[in-house]
Amino acid sequence: MKNVSETIEVKSFGEVYPKKGMNPRTPYEHQKEAMRCLDTINQELSYSTLVVLPTGGGKTYTASMWLLKNAIDKRKKILWVAHRQMLLDQAAESFQRFAYTEVIPHISSFCFRIVSGASCHDRTGDISPEDNLLIVSKDSIGRSIDRLDKWLDGESEVYLIIDEAHHSTAKTYRRIIDYVKSKVPNLKLIGLTATPFRTAENEQGLLARIYGDGIKLGRPVHGDVGITYQIGLKELINRRILAKPIFESFYTDEKYGEALGVDALESIQHLDILPEDIAQQMADSAARNKLIVETYKTKEKEYGQTILFAVNVIHAIQLKELFNKAGISADYVVSSVKDAVTGVTISREDNEKKIDEYREGRLQVLINVNILTEGVDLPQTKTVFLARPTVSSILMTQMVGRALRGTAAGGTESAYIVSFVDHWNENIAWVNPETLFEGNNDFHDSDIERAKSDLRLIAISKIEEFASILDDSVDTSALERVPFEQRIPIGMYAFSYLEKNGMDHSYQVMVYNSSKNAYQQLMDSLPSLFESFGEAEEYLSDEKLNEMEQQCRDSFFCGDMIPPYERKDIINILKYYAQYEMAPQFYTFDEIDRNKLDVTAIARHIWDEDMGERRKKEYIDNIWDSGDDNILRLFFGRKMYFIKQIGIELTKISHPDIYEDQGNNINFGKKDLEDLPLYEIGKIAPELEKRLRDQAFEKSRNENGEYQCACCGKTSKSRVYFQVDHIIPMNRGGKTVAENLQILCRQCNGKKGDK
């Protein structure tokens, strides 16, 4: 018998007893509609279907309320699967919070358990057949899926819920679904998502294999992508349940994390935690803090009551002082009882007092550190200021959601989502809040709005390019020589994937005229690439990713590409494919009027009119300030970038020889290009490298038109199996010329040992 002192209360499992009385939260009409549709499809013995509610639509609440009544109250087991600890905790909290006798009148209690790799949760070995509600992380159960056997034993009907179901085409999710389906005669599979698919036929095809049942005209249907209930963002805005988001981005001149170490990168990418020294830099930046306060001050009436998400407690304190000095009532709330750095002690009562002041309208700005993402109802919030970056789509959704309450929900008609964007290490995939609304194809009312959305995505991706042009220590002459209109992307690949620890990443790869064909060839060859490397794992090692990226570079990305392709873009595409076994979707920027971005034409007009400095300034100011739909402002973000580009174009007109090679005073030795390895040739003459590789592949074709290894005879229609090799090695006098090049499969080339 254990002593009471030897036990401790944990929240990872327990028994839930029904609350007496009525649930004080009344579902919205769309949530009632969703539950009625679920009632209809639930008449089927088994099914697999999707419930689609946009960001802010209440997916977890809707599902948990319906499941309490239709599964828990009838003693049917529920397996709820998600990829993040935060999602698991939210699901458990929702079942506990809304367990009223009106929805579960036939039972006295039910048992729940949360399982994940987090220290605060249980492990798969703790799963008990007595658990009615099992809430698990997909990777924990995916690694030990047989731990479900005893829990499933003897069950004829089980509810399997996949949260964030647009990820369920990933290998681990598919394995879990197939395993449970093989063990249970009647599986009722429900996927919850805000974005079931975009427009890619391959995405819809994979989802349709998992979710094939739905409701149309009030009746169950089968085939295609099965959706029991779906409502779009635009419809919830029209019903005034959600506010219409208005996105704004302001660009700082601050640079952070240019030389981050491995530990710091891991901290950011896997834990979403900024290293202390960088957080301190951000908090102490007078220019950055001034921009934040002045941005609010400029549009104080439009922004209204605002929640600002700060980096840390020091940041919150400094911003509060700056807001107050500017005549704006502001205060801060923090999650920690005592901050280790400042020694500031904030009690729960202090936080609640400040929140009440904000709720009553006595505070205009409430600065928040690590709380106010869930559970606090502040419907009068019209604006959120995102003064801290995040790599988590879930956290971004929660921050943005603070301002999305529409007038029918006691909130506002529109909501401003204001981002402050810094220069960062290029390897960090910060979440752009606008990407949360991808897939809501009805969101943008007009071509102009779609173009604005596209341009904001482009602008954030172009910050590094603009900043490098302003940096005298970086040689950007090759980039500057390219006509400006060719540096405007023609489209992008947009996708999201999961890291091994469950962190979700949204990513956009910008595609230019110069790289369009290379990317298309890569996408077509992805299945062959993974087959050639024998890779079937969902998560690839850094070593393997680098090896595969090098093969992609050699196969597709040789030659002149300005702007050049980015290694990190290819690596992110490989991570996505490894997980979902399909190429990401390509979105065109057809709506953008490129003529309005023709900086060359603006510079030519200034030159032809022979404008003096004053007249030139007035002309540039007039263009920059000419209306809300001015795409120059959306594209460049900061006026200084725009002015610098005009200066570059004017220099091209006035001094066309300035970008020519000026030479130097050193008479270096000469070496024939044929005496250099292919990679070295590529640095000097990328088109020659491409031509030599192409020639080597062309002469390797057999009578069937397939490429053939010169050693073992292996054949394929795809280049990704092969590498270009010297017939006579260079260390034995061989030259890098077409006649001395052959292709070998990677295995033969590895054995040869002379690359």
| pLDDT for the residue 340 | 43
Report in angstroms the alpha-carbon separations of 341 from 30, 315, 344, 410, 470: 46, 12, 8, 38, 36
Distance CA 375, CA 360 (A): 18
| pLDDT for the residue 341 | 44
Q: Which of 40-44, 127-131, 270-274, 553-557 has the lowest mean pLDDT?
A: 270-274
Question: Tell me, what amino acid is at 578?
Answer: A
Q: Strand, coil or helix: what is 656?
A: coil
| pLDDT for the residue 339 | 45
Taking each helix axis as running N to C, give the angle between helix 567-580 and helix 542-556, from 0 to 180 degrees, rounded to the nearest 10.
Answer: 110
221 and 250 share one domain: no
Per-residue pLDDT tens digits for 377-425: 788 899 999 999 888 777 788 788 888 888 888 889 999 999 998 888 6
Q: Select from 390, 389, 553, 581 the least CA-distant residue to 495.
A: 581
Q: Write the CATH number for 717.
A: 1.10.30
Q: Is residue 275 part of a domain?
A: yes
| pLDDT for the residue 345 | 55
Report residue 29 CA to chain centroid gap: 30
| pLDDT for the residue 108 | 95
Q: Is residue 271 part of a domain?
A: yes
Report in angstroms the alpha-carbon separations of 569 from 185, 427, 573: 44, 9, 6
352 and 380 share one domain: yes
Residue 56: count of CB within 10 angstroms of its CB = 26
Return the beta strands (E) in 461-618 as ranges.
491-498, 504-511, 585-588
Residue with tokens 């640095």: 683
* Residue scoring higher pLDDT (470 or 86): 86
Q: Strand, coil or helix: what is 519?
A: helix
Domain final residue pick, 182, 199, 231? 231
Residue 342 in this model has a pLDDT that exceeds 50: no
Question: Tell me, what amino acid is at 115?
Answer: V
205 and 300 share one domain: no
Q: Is residue 668 part of a domain?
A: no
Q: Is residue 658 part of a domain?
A: no
> Is 319:289 a contact under the CB 8 Å cutoff?
yes
Band of residue 337 on the pLDDT scale cut at 50, 70, 90: very low
| pLDDT for the residue 578 | 95
Length reported for the chain: 755
289 and 224 share one domain: no
> Is 328:364 a contact under the CB 8 Å cutoff?
yes
Residue 668, both tokens: 């270096």
| pLDDT for the residue 338 | 46
Beta bridge partners of 511: 491
Residue 347, both tokens: 């009690």
Residue 753 in this model has a pLDDT that exceeds 80: no
74 and 135 share one domain: yes
Domain final residue pick, 569, 588, 607? 588
Q: What is the mean pLDDT of residues 325-346?
A: 70
Domain final residue pick, 538, 560, 588? 588
Q: Is residue 171 part of a domain?
A: yes
Residue 706 in this model has a pLDDT that exceeds 90: yes
Residue 176, both tokens: 């879990």
177 and 292 share one domain: no
Residue 152 in this model has a pLDDT that exceeds 60: yes
* Residue scoring higher pLDDT (466 or 674): 674
Distance CA 91, CA 394 (A): 14
| pLDDT for the residue 319 | 95
Q: What single string gives the DSSP state of each residue in 194-262? A: S-S--S-HHHHHHHHHH--EEEETTEEEESSS-EEEE--HHHHHHTTSBPEEEEEEEEEEEEE-TT--H
Burial of residue 472 (number of CB atoms within 10 Å: 0-12, 13-18, 19+): exposed
* Residue scoring higher pLDDT (430 or 74): 74
Q: Are strands 186-193 and 47-52 parallel, antiparallel or unpaired?
A: parallel
Q: Is residue 214 part of a domain?
A: yes
Q: What is the mean pLDDT of residues 329-343?
A: 66
- Identify the helix (H) or strand (E) that includes residue 15: strand 13-16
Per-residue pLDDT tens digits for 294-325: 999 999 999 999 999 999 899 999 999 999 99
Q: Which of 87-91, 336-340, 406-410 has the lowest mean pLDDT?
A: 336-340
Distance CA 86, CA 101 (A): 27
Residue 125 in this model has a pLDDT that exceeds 90: yes
* Residue scoring higher pLDDT (138 or 507): 138
* Residue scoring higher pLDDT (592 or 740): 740
Q: What is the mean pLDDT of residues 97-121?
A: 94
Distance CA 509, CA 527 (A): 19
| pLDDT for the residue 202 | 52
Q: How many CA atoms lie within 13 A of 572 on its CB side?
A: 22
Residue 561 domain boundaries: 491-588
> Is 501:138 a contact under the CB 8 Å cutoff?
no
Residue 367 in this model has a pLDDT that exceeds 60: yes
| pLDDT for the residue 539 | 92
> Is 213:47 a contact under the CB 8 Å cutoff?
yes
Burial of residue 256 (number of CB atoms within 10 Å: 0-12, 13-18, 19+): buried
Main-chain dihedrals φ then ψ at residue 163, nearest 5 degrees: -80, 145
| pLDDT for the residue 755 | 46
258 and 314 share one domain: yes
Residue 262 in this model has a pLDDT that exceeds 60: yes
59 and 105 share one domain: yes
Residue with tokens 């679920």: 38
Looking at the structure of the chain, the number of domains it has is 4
Residue 499 in this model has a pLDDT that exceeds 60: yes
Q: How many CA atoms lie within 13 A of 115 on its CB side?
A: 26
Q: How many CA atoms lie within 13 A of 718 on its CB side?
A: 18
Q: Which of 190-194, 234-238, 395-399 has the lowest mean pLDDT?
A: 395-399
220 and 269 share one domain: no
Distance CA 327, CA 314 (A): 20
The pLDDT mean for the chain works out to: 86
Task: Write the DSSP symbol of residue 468.
Answer: H
Q: Strand, coil or helix: what is 48?
A: strand
Q: Is residue 597 part of a domain?
A: no
Q: What single string gives the DSSP state of each residue in 260-293? A: --HHHHHHHHHH----HHHHHHHHH-HHHHHHHH
Q: Select from 383, 402, 418 the least CA-distant residue to 304.
A: 383
Listed in sequence order, the DSSP H helices in 625-669 are 631-636, 639-654
Q: Which of 350-359, 366-375, 528-537 has the lowest mean pLDDT?
A: 366-375
Q: Percent of the chain, pLDDT > 90?
A: 50
Distance CA 719, CA 721 (A): 6
Band of residue 49 on the pLDDT scale cut at 50, 70, 90: very high
Q: Is residue 166 part of a domain?
A: yes
Q: What is the mean pLDDT of residues 686-694?
A: 93
Q: Which of 55-69, 282-296, 396-410 has the lowest mean pLDDT?
A: 396-410
Q: Which of 15-29, 325-339, 703-717 has the lowest mean pLDDT?
A: 325-339
81 and 143 share one domain: yes
199 and 252 share one domain: no
326 and 220 share one domain: no
| pLDDT for the residue 199 | 39
Band of residue 708 on the pLDDT scale cut at 50, 70, 90: very high
* Range among 219-233, 248-262, 331-345, 378-392 rated most confident: 378-392
Distance CA 185, CA 190 (A): 16
Residue 123, both tokens: 């492990």
Per-residue pLDDT tens digits for 509-536: 999 988 999 999 999 999 999 999 999 8
Report in angstroms the alpha-carbon separations of 375 from 64, 330, 372, 532, 731: 16, 21, 7, 49, 68
Q: Write the CATH number for 322.
A: 3.40.50.300
